[in-house]
Structure 1
Amino acid sequence: MTVPRLLVVTDRTQARGPLPEVVADAVAAGARAVLLRDKDLPLPERAELARELRAVLDPVGGLLVWGGATGAPAGVAVHLSAADPVPAARPPLLGRSCHSAAELGRAAAEGCDWVTLSPVAPTASKPGYGPALGTAGLAALAPGAPPVLALGGVRPGDVAGCLAAGASGVAVMGPVMRDPAVVAAYCAALAAA
C-alpha cells in the first residue's frame, strides 16, 4: 500500500464505543488506513487490539499502522513520535509526527514515507505544540518534506485547503472516534480535490 491519503488515528478515550467497532464503522464508511495510537495500553492488550483491527482492515486491503517503535509486530507499518528513534529493523512503511521545520528535516533525512504535521487548526487533543499552523504554516513547511498528512482540527471542509497548501492527505482522530460515519465526508473531500 502506498502512503495513505486519509489516516484514522485511534484514541479509545474519545471513541463512542469499543475501538474495534468504531474502526469497523470507519472502514465501512471508507477508511483504509488506521494508526493504532493508544500507547498507554500494556503491550499484550495493545497487541490484541492490533490483531482485532487487522481483522477489520485485512478484508478491504487496509493498512494498520503501529504507533511508536516499542512492541511493533514484525512487518507492520510504524508511525513514530517526534522523539522516537528509528527502529533497527526498518518497517515496510515508516511515518513520523512532526511539528516544526527541524522535525520535518529529520524525517526527510531518515527516509520516512510520510509525516503528520500538526496542529493545523486549534484542537484540544494537541496541547503544548504551539499555535495552530493554519494553511499558511502548512504551505511554508510542506515543501521538501516527505508526503505530509495534515493533522489537528482538520474537518472535511478543510481538506481542500490543506491539499492546496501542499498536504498529500489528512490524519484525523477526534471527529472519527466520536462519529466514524464522518469518514465518508473526508473521503468525498479528498476525491473532489
Structure 2
Amino acid sequence: MLNLELYLVTDEASCLGRDFFWVVEEAVKGGVTMVQLREKSLSTRAFIDRAKRLKSLLETYNVPLIINDRVDVALAVDADGVHIGQSDMPFQTAHRLLGEGKIIGLSAEKQTDILEAEHWNLSYLAVSPLFATPTKTDTEMPWELEGLQWARQQSRHPLVVIGGLHTDNAHEAISNGANGIAVVSAICSAPSPREAAAALKKVIQDAILWPASNNT
C-alpha cells in the first residue's frame, strides 16, 4: 500500500546551504514517507549520480524514491517511480517505458486534468497548487479547499496536495479529501528538518484519525 502521507519534494536551494543528503535523511527520520528528487539544473550524469546515492540512502528506511519528469533517469537508477507534469511525457508512454509495478504520479492543475486522469491507472494525482506558493510560479490558479473537495468527489485516485502547505493548514487539507501532503520549503528550509517533518506527520495522522476536528 502506497503511503503518501508526507511527501518530500527536494529543492537544493531550499536546503539553505546545508548538505542535501543530510536534510533528506533528517526529514525521513522525522516521518517523511516518500521522496521526489526534483533537479531542473543538473546535467543528466549528475542527476543520475545524485539519484543513485539518494536511492541507496532511502532504501535503508524503506522510503520510495520518485524522480521528477525524467523517465530516463528513473530507468537508469531503477527508481520506484516518476512524477510527471501536464507538459511532460504522456502517462501512457511513461507507463510503457517503466513497466508494471512502478509508481507514476501526475500533476493536476485544473479540473480537466482530474477528469482526464480517470481513464488512467495512476498511482496518485498531485493537486497543484492547493494554496498560493512562491516555490512554483508557473502554475494555474490555486485549487483552495473547495477545489480539493471537488477533486475528491470526481477522482478515484489517491490525492496528494502541494503548494503552501504547513502545520497550520495540513489538517484542513486532509479533512477535505487529501490522502497526503507534499512539501518543499516547509521541511527543507526548516531549522530542523527532522522536527519539521515530525510536526507535519503528527498533524496529518491526527487529521486521518479525527477528520472533523479543528486544527487546534
The interval holding the TM-score normalised by the smaller chain is over 0.9
Contact 1:142 1:148 in 2 (8 A): yes
Residues 1:112 and 1:3: Cα distance change in structure 2 (over 3 Å): farther
Q: In the TM superposition, what are the counterparts of 1:26-175 in structure 2 within 5 Å?
A: 26-68=27-69, 69-73=71-75, 74=78, 76-84=80-88, 85-86=90-91, 87=94, 88-91=96-99, 92-145=102-155, 146-175=157-186
Q: Displacement of 1:101 after TM fit?
A: 1.2
Query: Distance in 1 between the 2:80 and 2:22 partners?
Result: 21
Kindly, what percent of the aligned residue pairs are identical?
A: 23
| Structure-2-length-normalised TM-score | 0.83
Size of the aligned set, in residue pairs, is: 193
Gaps of 5+ in 1: none
More helix by share: 2
TM-score normalised by structure 1 residue count: 0.92
TM superposition shift of 1:192: 0.7
Q: Distance in 1 between matches of 2:124 and 2:165?
A: 17
Structure 2 distance, partners of 1:142, 1:99, is 14
2-structure distance, mates of 1:14, 1:47: 20
1:20 to 1:75, Cα distance in 2 relative to 1, 3 A: closer
Partner of 2:211: none
Work out whether residues 11 and 37 of structure 1, in 8 Å CA contact, stay in contact via their aligned partners in 2. Answer: yes
The runs of at least 4 consecutive aligned structure 1 residues that moved more than 4 Å come to: none
Kept in 2: contact 1:135–1:162 (CA 8 A): yes
Q: Aligned-pair RMSD on alpha carbons?
A: 1.6
Question: Helix, strand or coil: the match of 1:143?
Answer: helix
Q: Distance in 2 between matches of 1:93 and 1:131?
A: 27
Contiguous gaps of at least 5 residues in structure 2: 208-216
Distance, in Å, in 2 between the alignment partners of 1:7 and 1:107 is 21
Task: Classify the secondary structure of the residue corresponding to 1:14.
Answer: helix
Q: Which of the pair has more CA radius of gyration?
A: 2
Post-superposition Cα deviations, 1:46-105, rounded to whole Å, max 9, x if no partner, equal: 111111212221111111001113432245311111222121224511101111111122
| Separation in 1, partners of 2:86, 2:72 | 14
Quick one: distance in 1 between partners of 2:85 and 2:45? 21
Whole-Å Cα distance in 2 between the matches of residues 70 and 98 of structure 1? 22
Asked if structure 2 preserves the Cα contact closer than 8 Å seen for 1:7 and 1:171, the reply is yes
